[in-house]
Chain A
Amino acid sequence: MDDQKIIELFFARSELAIQSLAAKYEKLLHKVSFQILHNDEDVAECINDTYLGVWNAIPPARPNPLSAFVCKITRNLSLNKYRANTATKRDASMDISLEELEPSIATPSAEEEWNAKELGKQINRFLHTLGQENRVLFVRRYWFADSVKDIARDMRISENLASVRLKRIRKQLELFLEKEGYKV
Chain B
Amino acid sequence: MTEQKKVFIANALSEIADEFVAEAVEYQKAKPIWKYTKELATVAACAAVLLVSLNVIRMIPIGSTETATNEARPENMQDATSLESFTTDITGTPETILENENAALNDSVKQENVEQIENSVDNLNKVVGAEGQKQELQTSSCAQWMSAEEILALDVEIFLGTVTDMETYQVTGEMERYFTVATVEVEDSIRSVLEKGDTCRIYLPFAEIGGLTTTTSNIGDLEKLEIGSRAIFMPRKTTEEKGAGNGDVWMSYSDFADYYFGEGVRFLFLETENGTNYATDVYEVEGGNKASLEEIAEYLRGVLEKLEGEHYEKR
A contacts, CB < 8 Å to B: 28, 63, 65, 67-69, 71-72, 75-76, 79, 83, 94-95, 98-99, 101-102, 105, 107-108, 114, 116-117, 119-121, 123-124, 127, 132-133, 135-136, 139-140, 142-144, 153-158, 160-161, 163-165, 167-168
A124 to B19, CA, bound (A): 10
The 5 closest A-B pairs by CB, nearest first: A120-B15, A68-B18, A116-B11, A65-B22, A119-B12
A153 to B28, CA, bound (A): 10
Tally B residues with Cβ within 8 Å of A: 37
Residue pair B1, A102 in contact (C-beta under 8 Å): yes
> Smallest distance from the beta carbon of A168 to chain B beta carbons, Å?
7
For B226, list chain A residues within 8 Å (CB).
Answer: 157-158, 161
> Smallest distance from the beta carbon of B62 to chain A beta carbons, Å?
25
For A116, list chain B residues within 8 Å (CB).
Answer: 8-9, 11-12, 14-15
Count chain B CB atoms within 10 A of each CB in A95, A108, A143, A155 and give the residue with the most: A143
A93 to B111, CA, bound (A): 53
Residue pair A124, B228 in contact (C-beta under 8 Å): no
A72 to B33, CA, bound (A): 25
A127 to B22, CA, bound (A): 14
Contact A135-B15, Cβ < 8 Å, known A102-B5, A158-B226: no
Does B20 have its Cβ within 8 Å of any Cβ on chain A? yes
Interface hits, B262-276 → A, CB 8 Å: 271-273
For B22, list chain A residues within 8 Å (CB).
Answer: 65, 67-68
Contact A72-B18, Cβ < 8 Å, known A114-B8, A164-B272: yes
Residue pair B24, A144 in contact (C-beta under 8 Å): yes
Number of A-B contacts (CB under 8 A): 126
Interface hits, B1-39 → A, CB 8 Å: 1-2, 4-28, 31, 33
Contact A139-B16, Cβ < 8 Å, known A98-B9, A102-B9, A132-B27: yes
Residue pair A139, B15 in contact (C-beta under 8 Å): no
> Smallest distance from the beta carbon of A90 to chain B beta carbons, Å?
10
Residue pair A68, B21 in contact (C-beta under 8 Å): yes
A83 to B27, CA, bound (A): 30
Does B51 have its Cβ within 8 Å of any Cβ on chain A? no
Residue pair B19, A68 in contact (C-beta under 8 Å): yes
For A136, list chain B residues within 8 Å (CB).
Answer: 23-24, 27
For A28, list chain B residues within 8 Å (CB).
Answer: 25
> Smallest distance from the beta carbon of A98 to chain B beta carbons, Å?
5
For A69, list chain B residues within 8 Å (CB).
Answer: 18
For A119, list chain B residues within 8 Å (CB).
Answer: 8-9, 12, 15
Residue pair B13, A123 in contact (C-beta under 8 Å): yes
For B12, list chain A residues within 8 Å (CB).
Answer: 105, 116-117, 119-120, 123
Residue pair A76, B14 in contact (C-beta under 8 Å): yes
Does B229 have its Cβ within 8 Å of any Cβ on chain A? yes
Does B227 have its Cβ within 8 Å of any Cβ on chain A? yes
Residue pair B13, A95 in contact (C-beta under 8 Å): no
Does B230 have its Cβ within 8 Å of any Cβ on chain A? yes
Which residue in chain A gives the minimum CB-CB distance to B23? A136
Contact A114-B13, Cβ < 8 Å, known A135-B20, A164-B271: no
> Smallest distance from the beta carbon of B130 to chain A beta carbons, Å?
42
Residue pair B14, A75 in contact (C-beta under 8 Å): yes
Residue pair A143, B273 in contact (C-beta under 8 Å): no
A86 to B22, CA, bound (A): 31
For B1, list chain A residues within 8 Å (CB).
Answer: 98-99, 102
Q: Which of B7, B8, B14, B31 contacts A154 (CB 8 A)?
A: B31
> Smallest distance from the beta carbon of A180 to chain B beta carbons, Å?
13
Count chain A CB atoms within 10 A of each CB in B16, B23, B272 and give the residue with the most: B16
A140 to B22, CA, bound (A): 11
